[in-house]
Amino acid sequence: MWDLASGKISQSIKEQTAKATNVAAAGFKRVVAACADKTIRIWDLMSGSILTALTLDVPVWSVAATPDGKIIVAGDESGRVHFFDLVEPEP
């Protein structure tokens, strides 16, 4: 993430090792990455840590999320479109 006031990087995702083919914001708290290693990775924006990785059977080329971050849509190499409903754990 960029700090707009200073123009400097304030947070980066360090655990991302796979080639990200597409990235999208998922609400105000998360970032979702489509990856060439057949995964969709969901990151917490504040901590920069991975929340989960969803594994498909082919590389993932595109990803998008609803404005509230509750539904993720991903397109894979075979042309399929996947929908994921993210459920928040109860406190």
Q: Calculate what percentage of the chain has a pLDDT beyond 90.
A: 44
Find tokens 């509230």 and name the residue.
68
Residue 20: strand pairing partners: 35
What is the C-alpha to C-alpha distance for residues 62 and 91, in angstroms, rounded to an integer?
Answer: 31
pLDDT tens digits along 18-59:
788 999 989 888 889 999 999 999 988 888 888 889 999 999
pTM score of the predicted model: 0.79
